[in-house]
Structure 1
Amino acid sequence: MRGLIGAGPSWVRSTARAASTATAVFAAVVLFAAGCGTGGTGARDEGPAHADSVASAPAAAASARPSRTPDRVDAVRLVKADPAVSAEVKRDLKPCVADEYPVDVSYGNLTRGAVDDVVVNVLTCGDAVGVGSYVYREQGGSYVNVFSAEEPPVYAEIDRGDLVVTHQVYERGDPVSSPSGENVITYRWGPGRFTEKYRTHNDYGQVAGTEPSPAPAG
């Protein structure tokens, strides 16, 4: 499966209806992990390449702005303490093996802050289906939830300064392991929130998907 991280300060892995842009501010504990393992960044590993993966020049330039990578966070505790995360996701977020949780964590400069943002994907244990994707922005020593998507299957990643969220699409009769396609939505920060910029649909098994189109006005 994509990734497991251990609970507590000893192990932290570096890594959809887009429900809402949550602005709930809460104090989340940042743990300093000595000797933590880094086994991946949570990049997606299924489906065709996205036509919108090449970011525009302004986004690329903005993402080059220096920012500090935060000390590794306890992603499980962060999600469970977040009032913007649904009770269902919190209830189902349990260890898969021993104290290892199905959570992918990525760090990157999405909101142009002084400290890199934290992207957390919560997955299922058995088949690694994404059930929740969240972006946290550091503010005054605490983390603020600035993006949530909880319509599975969903997975969020950082692409050259943009937030790219993939929703897999299932037709009637599709097994969990074989979706029919995917919707890929690119979000960009500013001012003060993520806004949709591009949307692409890819049908699996076909030669090519549709070209990315701008988000509808309004």
Structure 2
Amino acid sequence: MRGLRRDGESKPAPRTTGRAADERAADDRADDEWRADDEWRAAGPATADASPPKRFPKTVTLTVTTATGGVALAALIGFGLFVIGCSTSATGTRDEGAASVATAEPVSPPTSEPSALPAQDIDPVALLRRDPKVSGQVKADLKPCARDAYPVDTSYGNLTGGTAPDVVINVMTCDDAVGLGTYVYRESDRRYENVFVAEEPAVYATIDRGELVVTRQVYAKGDPVSYPSGEDVVTYTWADTRFAERYRVRNNYSGAVGNGPVDAPAPSTTSDNDD
């Protein structure tokens, strides 16, 4: 009877109408088929080619009857999708590879190159006067042009790679600022040592990107002091214990510049009345 349970215990049958009645009937048919199958296996087949009765899986139907049940079903479906999305590898979790480790760039140690600015400016006149490598003629011409203003240019820079800036001194004439001598001093044992000397008319030295650049004016016979024929520009670099010439450039000046106006033929003029 429809009101009896499978274990024989009596229980009033609930009222079923419509879709619920159909589901209840399907469950009863599935129970009967499973019971018939179990009895056939217990008795044994009559013939070798006997086959068990057809067996259908029990139909499970989920029916959402309340708002709470709908929320629970939606949560169950969402959890299933989450598990499928995460199970992309054999271990059940996403394999993102080895974690990257950020490494800091090594910091370069501070360089030991000397600064271009000395701790204290030197007295170039006193340094020249006590230097035995400076000629007596230059020392005699080393006089102030006005009061205590001496015709001396001083430059500081790194030329020899020492622990202190090197010093370049140019001595000139007071009247026309023509170079008389160029000298380079390098600090050694807290004293300045003369490592370069150039004493000749119209010579001047500068520091250019760690190299010594010496310019010498070239005079031809009859050239005035203020108008040389050209110049030699020589670049020196420090090599162990002395300066070595690196390259030389010769510049020749035009003789038509600086010696007054150039004579040129006067332009011809014509009259409007000429035939």
Pick the TM interval, shorter chain. 0.5 to 0.7
Partner amino acid, structure 2, of 1:87: G
Q: Give the drift of 1:99.
A: 1.1
What is the match of residue 112 of structure 1? 161
| Partner in structure 1 of residue 114 of structure 2 | 67
The whole-number CA distance in structure 1 between the counterparts of 2:112 and 2:199 is: 30
Pick the structure with more helix per residue.
Answer: 2
- TM-superposed CA distance for 1:170, in Å, is 1.1
Report the TM-score, using the length of structure 2 for normalisation: 0.50
More strand as a share of residues:
1
Q: Structure 1 residue 173: deviation in Å?
A: 2.0
Query: 1:98 deviation in Å?
Result: 1.0
State how far apart, in whole Å, the 1-side matches of 2:227 and 2:199 are: 20
Q: Which has the higher contact order (CA 8 A, sep 6+)?
A: 1
Aligned with 1:77 (options 119, 126, 148): 126
Separation in structure 2 between the aligned mates of residue 157 and residue 91 of structure 1, nearest angstrom: 24
Aligned-residue offset at 1:87:
0.7
User: Within 5 Å, which residues of 2 pair with 1:52-63?
Assistant: none
Partners of 1:65 and 1:184 lie apart in 2 by 31
Match of 1:96 in 2: 145
Matches within 5 A, 1:34-183: 66-68=113-115, 69-70=117-118, 71-183=120-232
Q: Deviations over 1:169-211 (max 9, x none)?
A: 11122221111100111110011110111011001239xxxxx
> What is the rounded CA distance, in whole Å, between the counterparts of 1:164 and 1:89 in structure 2?
21
Distance in 1 (alpha carbons) for counterparts of 2:178 and 2:244: 25
Moved over 3 A (4+): none
Equivalent residue letter for 2:170: N
Q: Taking every aligned residue pair, what percent have the same amino acid on both sides?
A: 60
Q: RMSD of aligned C-alpha atoms?
A: 1.5
CA deviation after TM superposition for structure 1 residue 65, in Å: 6.5
Answer whether contact 1:65 1:112 (CA < 8 A) is retained.
no
Counting only pairs closer than 5 Å after superposition, residues 179-190 of structure 1 correspond to structure 2 as: 179-190=228-239
CA apart distance, 1:66: 2.9
Q: CA deviation at 1:105?
A: 0.2
The CA distance in 2 between the partners of 1:65 and 1:157, in whole Å, is 23
Per the alignment, residue 40 of structure 1 pairs with none
1:197 corresponds to which residue? 246
Per the alignment, do residues 187 and 65 of structure 1 end up closer, same or farther by CA in structure 2, a change over 3 Å counting? farther
Which amino acid in the other structure matches residue 148 of structure 2? D
Structure 2 CA distance for aligned equivalents of residues 83 and 98 of structure 1: 26
**Aligned equivalents of 1:150, 1:108: Cα separation in 2:** 21
CA distance in 2, matches of 1:66, 1:191: 16
Q: How big is each residue's C-alpha offset from its partner over 1:123-175, in whole Å with a ceiling of 9 and x where there is no partner?
A: 00101010000000011111000000001110011011110111101112222
Measured in 1, the distance between the counterparts of 2:254 and 2:122 equals: 38
**How many residues were matched structurally?**
143
2:113/2:162 contact within 8 Å kept: no
The equivalent residue for 1:14 is none
1:110 shift after superposition: 0.2
Once residues 204 and 163 of structure 1 are traced to their aligned partners in structure 2, the CA distance between those partners, rounded to angstroms, is 23
Consecutive unaligned residues in structure 1, runs of 5 or more: 1-63, 207-218
Larger-Rg structure:
2
